[in-house]
Chain A
Amino acid sequence: MDLGFIIGQVFNGFSVASIYILAALGLALSFGLMRVINMAHGEILMVGSYVAYLTIALVPGPLGIFAAMIAAFAVAGLLGGVLEVTLVSRLTSRPLDTLLATWGVSLILQQAARDIFGATGVSVTAPAWLDHTILIGGQTLPVTRLFIMAVAVAVLGGLAAFLRSTRIGLLVRAVNQDRPTAAAMGVDVRRVDAAIFALGSGVAGIGGVVLALLGPVTPNVGQSYIVTAFLVVVLGGLGSTLGMTIAALMIGLFMALSQIFVDVSLAQVLSLLFVILFLQFRPQGVIAVRSRALDE
């Protein structure tokens, strides 16, 4: 078998994993902290994609993509914050109702996108500097995919720095470890919830920008990634950011490498089987976390 092809597939695996990381990070954050499964998360990705489309139309040129990321982070973060304050925070003790309510929001957002932008997709024109390939170690690699990996690494690094060195990051870690005690120390846990939900949504918005670079933006664009994003969160250990990152890499590489032998559809089936088998032997996921969600 051609070694170059295998290396190419490994590269693809990392690139797909980067998208999963951006899509799943918000889910992992909100589940770890609040035990909330946000069914509208995929549509927040979709909103990020449409914001990218609008921003790049307004700000053409090489820096348009960065403007799009900032705008998508802000709009998606705001949307997430509003969703948390108006809906999710009122249903926190009723997980099943949260699931249904956020599913309703997801349908509303999809229909809204259909009404505003039409059912057929719109295309985002990537800046010219992304539209290249470069040769590394005898491999021709598309710059877009390298850019996506860099975005995922930057977001993960930024988030780690935020959680480690800011006051709100400290409070998030405290609430995650022991919610009732954090409240008894004067921490406004509701505000921490809202902040982290908004942050997770903002990250999903950046994920949406990245998706827009890979294909047409449709009202259903979030749906195609959200199932795998949920898988990544479960496989990672429900709420562990590190576990989620490792899980995204595992699934991304598994999908890409299995495509050496089988076609894409079968690779997806095999990746589901892989997750099921993995959880049979390690039900707690890659990294077992003691968070509020799992203590109860």
Chain B
Amino acid sequence: MSDLLNLRSVSAAYGNGQVLWDVAFDMKGGEAATVLGRNGVGKTTLLKTIMGQLPVSGGHVYIDGEDVTAMSAHMRARAGIGFVPQGRHVFPHLTVTENLEVGLSALDRKSHTGPKRVPEMVFDLFPKLTQIAKRKAGVLSGGEQQQLAIGRALAGKPSLLLLDEPTEGIQPNIVQQIEDALLRVRTELGVAILIVEQNLDFAWSFADRYFVMQRGRIVKDGKTAEDPVETVAHLVHV
């Protein structure tokens, strides 16, 4: 298994309520994929399961061929998964700089050598973060928080970036900035991206592959270059 990420028959549950059923797919390094589906079909749960925030109730998760199913979230972060959660979840009472410094914790891994410093690339992608470095994250606008959340995940130099609805509630010009940044993350840093998105145009614009979920299962998948967006629109929109 030389893939970056493998999911094998992954199931997950909140208490007795099963949310994911036999989810399986693979991702290669540098690839971009999007998970689509209506509200409540298990997209966020899928990302949390990959991140290790929610334990699987069945199946296996592999990163770089290593079985990480029993690994805690912080170990998976150190194994190279970066996470941008839904609702951004910046640390509200920490400054922008401090938020980014927390992201450096993912560098506590054997393969990392050299100083633990927020990469210049983060400020290059999001120049705004330099201007607001000393402000508390809780007082920032939604767009600024989203840039911070992505920057914080990139500080840990991930090989796979998970993003949960990064355009939700963000004004259109910032959405464009985020899209440009993610394209650069992929092309210049070679980071693979798995993105949960309701905004189909945004998802189609840079993902190579798509997965559509319904009731906790992947019901359709394909390549965005081969399938026009209309083929999935009825599965995603109410």
* Interface, chain A (partner B; CB < 8 A): 167, 170-171, 173-174, 177-178, 180-189, 290
Contact = CB atoms under 8 A, between A and B. Distances in A.
Contact of A177 (B92, B106, B156): B92
Interface residues of B, number: 27
A182 B93 CA distance: 13
A171 B91 contact: no
B94 A185 contact: no
Nearest to A173: B94
A11 B6 CA distance: 66
B209 interface: no
B177 interface: no
7 contacts: A177-B93, A180-B53, A181-B83, A183-B52, A184-B74, A185-B106, A186-B108
B102 A170 contact: yes
Contacts of B107: 186
A183 B72 contact: yes
Contacts, number: 72
A177 B94 contact: yes
B93 A181 contact: no
Main SS class of interface, B: helix
Interface in B35-72: 51-53, 72
Contact of A184 (B85, B98, B101, B108): B85
Interface string B160-198: 000000000000000000000000000000000000000
Given A177-B94, A181-B85, A170 B74 contact: no
B85 A186 contact: no
B98 A170 contact: yes
A184 B54 CA distance: 11
Interface string B116-159: 00000000000000000000000000000000000011001000
Contacts of A167: 101
A183 B98 CA distance: 15
A209 to B, nearest CB: 32
A131 B83 CA distance: 59
A251 to B, nearest CB: 26
Contacts of B83: 181, 184-185
A10 B143 CA distance: 51
